[in-house]
Amino acid sequence: MNDTPPDTTAAAAATELLRYDHVTVHVARLDGPLFAPLSFAIHPGDKLVISAPSRMGKSPALRAAIGAQPGTQGAVFCLGERVSALSPHALLSLRRRVGFVPATGGLLSNLNLYANLTLLLRYHDEVPQEEIDRRAAQVCDELGLGDLTGRPLASANHQERHLIAIARAWLPRPPLLILDDPDFGLDDETASALWERLAALRAAHQVAMLVATSRPRLALRHGGRHLPLRPSEAP
Amino acid sequence: MASVLALPRITLAAVGARVIWWFGYVLQIATLIGHGLWRLTFGYGQMRSVTRGVLVRQVLFTAVEALPFTGMIAAIVGASVMVQAQMHLSGSPDMVGKLLVLVVIRELGPLVTAFILIGRSGTAMVVEMGNMRVGGEIDALDHAGIDPFEYLVVPRLFGMAVSLVGVAVFFISVAVTTGLISGALLVATETNALEFIDLLARQLSWLDFLAFFAKTFFPGLMIAGIACYEGMSAGPHVTDVPRAATRGTVRAISALFIWNVAVSAMLYLA
């Protein structure tokens, strides 16, 4: 799969949400690339699962999609824009249109769960509170989260935090969700339930997903393409 | 002979390297504050409501919640200064007024308030930012298209500066009031409250107001600037956060003293 050239027909290119052309990440400590060059394209409704053992470069591979990974080589096109050509301001603007969920979840410790969930919507769009409440309730329902109003962050367990981080990224309705190890630290049963909810979300909204995981078996149970990261050859 | 010459050369090189490092550090903090001020002044109209919420919370924590403790310290300072003044300058209300202006309004008010805010809020700010960095929260903000500088740093800079001005005014009010009361209790003086306030007002000049602003608003920016810088540049481990907090506190106190001495020197030269 790594060597498969991306589909370059005009029609396909027009609907591409994300495209990697021979992308890899160079790190100083290795004096070479972290993984073999990646090439793929993602269209609306697609799901691509990148798998690799720990510390092989899954997270850097995903961060390259939004221009947040130093040392990225190759060409990354996200939502029609060449990421390496964007100014810092334009990069922030691009990131607002992509739902990126880091492996840690990245929930803010000084906000309660509801404020975390609605942060992006309040920050980027400044939509009226009633609309925020309506959309938050809908997303909570879709992802099986209960009422989060007034709940402190500390009251959420590991699985809930993962789901709230995903819900936060999904609330502004981006066309592409990038999920870094969303089932990290979850047992198989809980992870299966998470993937089930994500599959339902994808089916209902045709949202494209780029996922990195060390457990591709669970991630691929509900469909999607598989792209194992290969170690780079010696420089 | 060579070894005799080597020692001063090594010492000079070490001192020089340290000076260059400090110059670079000051430049970074000044850039951070300058950029923050630019965003505050020219970009305030565009400040998002979420960021304004962070600013309000910062003022609430730094100023409003600090009032009881600050009031207690101010009362002690005001009473102590008045007791000393009455003991050594008894019978000279003009001198007592002058001393209060000199000691409380010009020096102790801004300085002690800044100390309180460094200990109470500056350290908390470093720890909060450091933990956010360790927990990947700052990166997560950036990856979600939220500018961490706009969301985290700008409201803290402005919140701390405004809070320091407000809390210092409160400190001086309490200290002067306590001074007046303790003076009346300790010594049977014929000067009433209105006369005392008039006495104080006559001792104040526009330079005092300028110096007060210089000794509160700008140190507020410095304290928050140093706290944000140290917190956001803390190492990636949990154990790096306390070290960053210590560094931030020590550097904020040093910056405060240097700034206060510089402003006082300019005030007396003016």
Query: Which residues of chain B lie closer than 8 angstroms to A170, CB-CB?
Result: none
Residue A3's pLDDT band (cuts 50, 70, 90): very low
Which two three-digit tokens encode residue A31? 């004096």
Query: Which residues of chain B lie closer than 8 angstroms to A95, CB-CB?
Result: 142-145
Size of interface A-B (CB pairs under 8 A): 68
Is A106 within 8 Å of chain B by CB? yes
Nearest to B48 among A95, A104, A126 (CB): A126
Residues β-bridged to residue A208: A176
DSSP code per residue over chain A: -TTPPPP--HHHHHT-SEEEEEEEEEETTTTEESB--EEEEE-TT-EEEEE--TTSSHHHHHHGGGT--TTEEEEEEETTEEGGG--HHHHHHHHHTSEEE-TT----TTS-HHHHHHHHIIIII---HHHHHHHHHHHHHHTT----TT--GGG--HHHHHHHHHHHHHTT--SEEEEESTTTT--HHHHHHHHHHHHHHHHHH--EEEEEES-HHHHTTT--EEEE--BPPP-
Closest alpha carbon within chain A to B50? A123
Cα–Cα nearest to A179, from A224, A121, A126, A125: A224
- The ipTM assigned to this model is 0.89
Whether residue A124 and residue B135 make contact (CB cut-off 8 A), yes or no, is no
- Coil/strand/helix, residue B88: helix
Query: Which residues of chain B lie closer than 8 angstroms to A122, CB-CB?
Result: 49-50
Q: What are the backbone angles phi and psi of residue A174, rounded to the nearest 5°?
A: -75, 155
Nearest to B145 among A95, A102, A107 (CB): A95
Mutate to test the interface with A, among B121, B143, B147, B154 (most CBs of A within 10 A): B143
- Cα B186 to Cα B73, B76, B77, B86: the distances in Å are 20, 15, 16, 8
Q: Minimum mean pLDDT among A79-83, A204-208, B116-120, B199-203: which range?
A: B199-203
> Domain for residue B186, yes or no?
yes
> Domain for residue B22, yes or no?
no
> Domain for residue B104, yes or no?
yes
Closest alpha carbon within chain B to A66? B143
Whether residue B135 and residue A109 make contact (CB cut-off 8 A), yes or no, is yes
> Domain for residue B1, yes or no?
no
> Domain for residue B225, yes or no?
yes
pLDDT in tens, A123-156: 887 788 899 999 999 999 988 888 888 889 989 8
Mutate to test the interface with A, among B39, B49, B50 (most CBs of A within 10 A): B50
Mutate to test the interface with B, among A121, A123, A166 (most CBs of B within 10 A): A123
**Contact criterion met (CB below 8 Å) for B46 and B150:** no
> Domain for residue B236, yes or no?
yes
Residues of chain B numbered 118-147 and touching chain A (CB < 8 Å):
128, 131-132, 135-137, 139-147
Residues β-bridged to residue A101: A179
Whether residue A92 and residue B145 make contact (CB cut-off 8 A), yes or no, is yes
Separation in Å, CA of A193 to nearest CA in chain B:
25
Structural domain boundaries, residue B167: 50-269
Separation in Å, CA of B191 to nearest CA in chain A:
51
pLDDT in tens, A42-59: 999 999 999 998 888 899
> Domain for residue B103, yes or no?
yes
Domain total for chain B?
1
> Domain for residue B41, yes or no?
no
Query: Which residues of chain B lie closer than 8 angstroms to A111, CB-CB?
Result: none
Closest alpha carbon within chain A to B147? A92
Class of residue B160 by CB neighbours under 10 A (exposed 0-12, middle 13-18, buried 19+): buried
- Tens digit of pLDDT at every position of chain B (270 positions): 566 778 888 888 999 999 999 999 999 999 999 999 988 887 666 778 889 899 999 999 999 999 999 999 999 998 888 888 777 766 566 677 777 777 888 889 999 999 999 999 999 999 999 999 999 999 999 999 999 999 999 999 999 999 999 999 999 999 988 988 887 777 656 667 777 778 778 878 888 889 999 999 999 999 999 999 999 999 889 999 999 999 999 999 999 999 999 998 988 887
Helix orientation angle between A129-142 and A113-120, rounded to the nearest 10 degrees: 110
Nearest to B146 among A97, A109, A123 (CB): A123
Is A66 within 8 Å of chain B by CB? yes
Separation in Å, CA of B55 to nearest CA in chain A:
14
What does the CA dihedral B39, B241, B15, B23 come to, rounded to 10 degrees? 0
Largest CA distance in chain A: 56
Whether residue A123 and residue B50 make contact (CB cut-off 8 A), yes or no, is yes
Is A94 within 8 Å of chain B by CB? yes
